[in-house]
Structure 1
Amino acid sequence: MKMNRLGRTSIEVSEFCLGSMTWGTQNVAEDAHDQIDRALDAGINFIDTAEMYPVNPVSAETIGRTERIIGLWFERDMRREDVVLATKHSGEGLAVVRDGAPITAQTIPEAIEGSLRRLKTDYIDLYQFHWPNRGSYMFRKNWSYDPSSQLMLDTKAHMEEALGALEDEVKRGTIRSFGLSNESAWGTTKWLEVAERSGGPRVASVQNEYSLLCRLYDTDMAEMSIQEDVSLLAFSPLAAGLLTGKYQDGAVPEKSRMSLNGDLGGRKTDRAFEAVQAYLDIADRHGLDPAQMALAWCRTRPFMGSIIFGATTLEQLETCLGAIDLDLDETVLDDIAAAHKQHPMPY
């Protein structure tokens, strides 16, 4: 397993990361623990979660359940030192977490303490802000994104306050590093500037959606990542399962994500299925599993820190693990590049 340095920290993470957002709704604790065991056996050392997980759906009754499941694994196996653990502080507007309160210097220690308690650990390796207080163009909001209501002075004041609170947590030993999620190039560079000017942990990573179907990261964010040593942690590298091909021709497998979230968070479009078919055809021509091809392609990107994938069954997990040693040759990469030009931004 190739290991990558997380930003400018000393933390080394596997280039594949085990996602956990279904643990507690689509998976029970035993399933999750089996997945962790198998992932570690395969060389993965990185697990990503969030205080709001599980999803499908997000509800007041299940908030924090995924962290509790991971905590039970730590309690059972006593292997905390074998795992780089990432979790997230929910942003403004999620009513079932702190009544939708924004991220502040007051919520940061409270949220960290809650995560530590559920995770049954005394430190978090990577602490991330799930989305910025000012909003985000992610999750299909890019089609109507309008940042004109943002107040720069308020944003900078928030960043200074939040980084001060995070620095206190670093000194307490509760977190080792800091990352963002669902962020923009402007937002990330402002966090970096504030950290350099006033102190606080430097942004190590940005967790944004990235896949063959969602390539918003390829321009400004890519340049920022390379020039500033900020790693991308790619979520939904299989486009919520679309790139496996299991939803083609109107199929909706029982207990699949589409059976629970009909439009896959805005990803279900006619153009998406056309694009998926183009990638399925490439995989077929080259004798590749389409899911493994999609994951292996993410490994080729120069800004990639780790690729976060999730599974609801061990069979799905095994398929994803098959991408670890898969290197795509130039003919495959050329075909993928051509398909991307024919099917850009399908949702």
Structure 2
Amino acid sequence: MNNRQLGNSALQVSEICLGTMTFGEQNSEREAHAQLDRAFAAGVNFIDTAEMYPVPPRAATCGRTEEIVGNWLAGQSRQQVIVASKAAGPSRGLNWIRGGELAFDLASLRAGVEASLRRLRTDYVDLYQLHWPARNQPMFGQWQYDPAKEHESTPILETLQALATLVREGKIRYFGLSNEHPWGVMEFVRLAREHDLPRPVSLQNAYNLLNRVYESGLAEVCQRENIGLLPYSPLAFGTLSGKYLVDANAAGRITRFAGFGQRYTKFNVVPAVAAYADLARRHGLTPSQLALAFVYSRWFSASTIIGATSIAQLDENLGALAVHLSAPLLAEINELHLRYTNPAP
């Protein structure tokens, strides 16, 4: 497995990053540690977690994922592991996190990262990400910006100054953005440049065969500003595995947790998944192999975040890195994309 430089940072991250949102909910600590061991044996050096994990977020389990990762991390050579975590933002009603004080100001971010460090049993986080913007914007399946929903939020300059302080204190090495839009990325870059503050080095956004929104505005922004994409949900919460075509009630997060993954219930998702599944089989691939290999092969994918609930799933996800998509097959994928354009933005 190759390593790649993450944006304008000094971090050399593996092509695949192990996501951990199932740890502590769908996976026990023993199962989670087995996944971590298997991934790192395969060359993965990059873990992504968050203070609100596991999902779905609940007060009873909040922070458990970081604790599980921290217990594993304590037995590793720390400098060999790149650890990313995320600070929850306002607007989602998660009032059990940091007592509901979820502004992206210094006091709240310092409280968030210090709690994460205790759970992770480490002195620093390599990459600290803002899980979603504090300001009003469409996200998590919403697709239209609505100015009527404007609300007060921490100014981006104040957030940058807070993150710069955490870098100086040695609590974080770099910071990144998540679930962001072009204006937000450029505003962080502009203000960082004007005020000589640390710049974002990464962007963690959903990207898969059903959601290629990144390719329009954000791809240019990130390329020109040297910000690495960390695509998440390459299998669209398991939808692109094709298992729900066979059994609409198949085991998975979408069926296990009511109201979860609503973007994948939208019009045209099912016919798009069926078309991609058929394309994969005609080329001797499983639907999962096609979906994963597509994201892995994108020129802008710095490190693709994968998740699994079993070692078998993890092995399939890791194995898809060896799958080569020919130019004719990529052309067929693009033809389907034009027919079913971003059905799950």
TM range (shorter): over 0.9
Deviations 1:236-279 (A, max 9, x none): 11011000011114432235542224552331235111000111
Instruction: Tell me, in whole angstroms, the C-alpha distance in 2 between the residues paired with 1:174 and 1:16.
Output: 24
Instruction: Tell me, in whole angstroms, the C-alpha distance in 1 between the residues paired with 2:80 and 2:186.
Output: 32
Any unmatched runs of 5+ in structure 2?
Answer: none
- Report the alpha carbon displacement of residue 217 of structure 1 after superposing the two structures with TM: 0.5
Is the Cα contact below 8 Å between 1:246 and 1:252 reproduced in 2?
no
Cα gap change, 1:263 to 1:269, in 2 (>3 Å): farther
Counterpart selection for 1:79 from 77, 80, 83: 77
Give the secondary structure class of the aligned counterpart of 1:186: helix
The aligned counterpart of 1:162 is 159
The aligned counterpart of 1:17 is 17
Within 5 Å, give how 1:211-222 maps onto structure 2: 211-222=208-219
The aligned counterpart of 1:195 is 192
Query: Does residue 52 of the first structure (1) align with residue 49 of the second (2)?
Result: no
The aligned counterpart of 2:132 is 131
Is the Cα contact below 8 Å between 1:209 and 1:235 reproduced in 2?
yes
Is the Cα contact below 8 Å between 1:24 and 1:69 reproduced in 2?
yes
Alignment size in residue pairs: 341
The aligned counterpart of 1:289 is 286
Instruction: Tell me, in whole angstroms, the C-alpha distance in 2 between the residues paired with 1:314 and 1:158.
Output: 43
Is the Cα contact below 8 Å between 2:84 and 2:127 reproduced in 1?
yes
- Report the alpha carbon displacement of residue 4 of structure 1 after superposing the two structures with TM: 1.5
Is the Cα contact below 8 Å between 2:253 and 2:260 reproduced in 1?
no
Within 5 Å, give how 1:109-258 maps onto structure 2: 109-142=110-143, 144-147=144-147, 150=150, 158-254=155-251, 256-258=253-255
Give the secondary structure class of the aligned counterpart of 1:87: strand
Instruction: Tell me, in whole angstroms, the C-alpha distance in 2 between the residues paired with 1:101 and 1:259.
Output: 28
TM-score w.r.t. structure 1 length?
A: 0.94
Query: Does residue 321 of the first structure (1) align with residue 307 of the second (2)?
Result: no
* AA in 1 matched with 2:34: D
Within 5 Å, give how 1:93-104 maps onto structure 2: 93=91, 94-98=94-98, 99=100, 101-104=102-105
Instruction: Tell me, in whole angstroms, the C-alpha distance in 2 between the residues paired with 1:315 and 1:136.
Output: 37
Deviations 1:77-107 (A, max 9, x none): 2332221110000001322213253221211
Cα gap change, 1:249 to 1:48, in 2 (>3 Å): same
Give the secondary structure class of the aligned counterpart of 2:231: strand
Give the secondary structure class of the aligned counterpart of 2:321: coil
RMSD of aligned alpha carbons? 1.7
Deviations 1:176-203 (A, max 9, x none): 1010001111100100111111132111
Instruction: Tell me, in whole angstroms, the C-alpha distance in 1 between the residues paired with 2:88 and 2:8.
Output: 24
- Report the alpha carbon displacement of residue 136 of structure 1 after superposing the two structures with TM: 3.0
Query: Does residue 89 of the first structure (1) align with residue 81 of the second (2)?
Result: no
Give the secondary structure class of the aligned counterpart of 1:133: coil
Instruction: Tell me, in whole angstroms, the C-alpha distance in 2 between the residues paired with 1:102 and 1:256.
Output: 29
Cα gap change, 1:100 to 1:216, in 2 (>3 Å): farther
Is the Cα contact below 8 Å between 2:136 and 2:149 reproduced in 1?
no
* AA in 1 matched with 2:265: K
* AA in 2 matched with 1:251: A
Give the secondary structure class of the aligned counterpart of 1:240: coil
Deviations 1:109-142 (A, max 9, x none): 1111000000000010000000111033221111
Cα gap change, 1:248 to 1:263, in 2 (>3 Å): farther
The aligned counterpart of 1:62 is 61
* AA in 1 matched with 2:293: A
Is the Cα contact below 8 Å between 1:72 and 1:120 reproduced in 2?
yes
- Report the alpha carbon displacement of residue 211 of structure 1 after superposing the two structures with TM: 0.3
Within 5 Å, give how 1:24-35 maps onto structure 2: 24-35=24-35
Query: Does residue 342 of the first structure (1) align with residue 339 of the second (2)?
Result: yes
Instruction: Tell me, in whole angstroms, the C-alpha distance in 1 between the residues paired with 2:187 and 2:73.
Output: 36
Any unmatched runs of 5+ in structure 1?
Answer: none
TM-score w.r.t. structure 2 length?
A: 0.94
Deviations 1:297-324 (A, max 9, x none): 1122222111111000111001101112
Is the Cα contact below 8 Å between 1:134 and 1:150 reproduced in 2?
yes
Instruction: Tell me, in whole angstroms, the C-alpha distance in 2 between the residues paired with 1:196 and 1:41.
Output: 39
